[in-house]
Homo-oligomer: A and B are copies of this chain.
Amino acid sequence: MTHDPIARLRRFNRAVTTEVGALDHSFLGRGRPLGAARVLNAIGQGFTEVSEIRDYLGLDSGLMSRLLRSLEGEGLLTTTPDEADARRRIARLTEAGQAEFTAYESLSDSRAEALFSRHPKPQALLAAMDLVASVLGRDRILITEQDPRCQAAVFCLGEYYSELARRFERGFDVSLSCDPDAADMIRPRGVFLVALSDGLPLGCVGLKGSGASADPMDLDQADSPRKAEIKRLWVSPAARGLGLARDLMTRVEEIACDLGYTHLRLDTNSALPEAVNLYRASGWVEIDRFNDDPYPDFFFEKKIGRSPGVS
């Protein structure tokens, strides 16, 4: 059934190296060395401080200085001292520079279109690329705090709901479920985490504060356990098996602890066995039903914080 995996990986590397080489060459297509094109691109993306760009591209300060000078000589950008700290310099694209940047962008867009147009199932190709990119880029996945109403969060939640609709025999309708209020998943009451891989959302999890305020100021006077709920744990199919769900849970539990919560609860469904196994494996204990949401059939709790012995 299988051919040698190593040979297949080599073939992949070769195909991709050639493509990347062609990509580099297309950068050169506008008569500018790669380094200068990369700097132009970074500034076009929104980087402004010289030291940030240097960091992002991994360039030596001397080299960076020369590249900036050459672009400045072409009239593509201007540099001005930072107002707050006159040692730092701010680089901004001129109109010509902006035009040049968009020229590069449209060049790369048309490459992308050409690639997709030569395949009968662009969706399948994209899914395969997502999978590969997730594995290769595992170490560069960032877990960020986001407003649950922002674009990335809404994207994740949409994917989450449509996955539930596929998995549950009876389907899934958000309006029938307890949809947490966005304000409950924003500090200081809660938090909403999104895992980003080079800007693409790959997973999320929410911490929903209970009705009562969870202001950290209350920490000292806390006699009764402070309760919060974990909601909306989702990982993109492309990124499954990389331990991302565990990372999300670890982070959200840490934040819950910082926010002063001691008791966490969550509801889930036996149609999501990966999630159930993860909860079981990471210290969650099954408890009785604690709400009347029609969808969940599994309920868990976990006590967190520095003194987990207190019941």
- Give me the interface of A with B, judged by CB distance under 8 Å: 1-3, 5-20, 23, 108-109, 112, 115-116, 118-138, 140, 155, 158-159, 162, 197-201, 240-242
Contact = CB atoms under 8 A, between A and B. Distances in A.
A133 B12 contact: yes
Given A15-B137, A118-B138, A162-B1, A129 B130 contact: no
Interface of A is mostly: helix
16 contacts: A3-B155, A3-B201, A8-B129, A11-B137, A11-B199, A13-B23, A15-B134, A16-B16, A18-B137, A19-B136, A20-B20, A118-B135, A118-B242, A128-B129, A128-B132, A129-B132
Given A8-B129, A14-B133, 5 more contacts: A2-B123, A10-B198, A11-B198, A15-B134, A115-B136
A118 to B, nearest CB: 7
Per CB-CB distance, the 3 closest pairs between chain A and chain B, nearest first, are A120-B241, A128-B128, A15-B137
B109 A15 contact: no
A35 to B, nearest CB: 14
Nearest to A45: B10
B6 A136 contact: no
A93 to B, nearest CB: 19
A241 B1 contact: no
B118 A14 contact: no
A20 to B, nearest CB: 5
Given A15-B137, A137-B18, A241-B120, A199 B7 contact: yes
Given A133-B12, A241-B119, A20 B17 contact: yes
Nearest to A109: B6
A109 B8 CA distance: 12
A5 B115 CA distance: 11
Nearest to A6: B112
A5 B135 contact: no
A140 B130 CA distance: 23
Contacts of A13: 20, 23
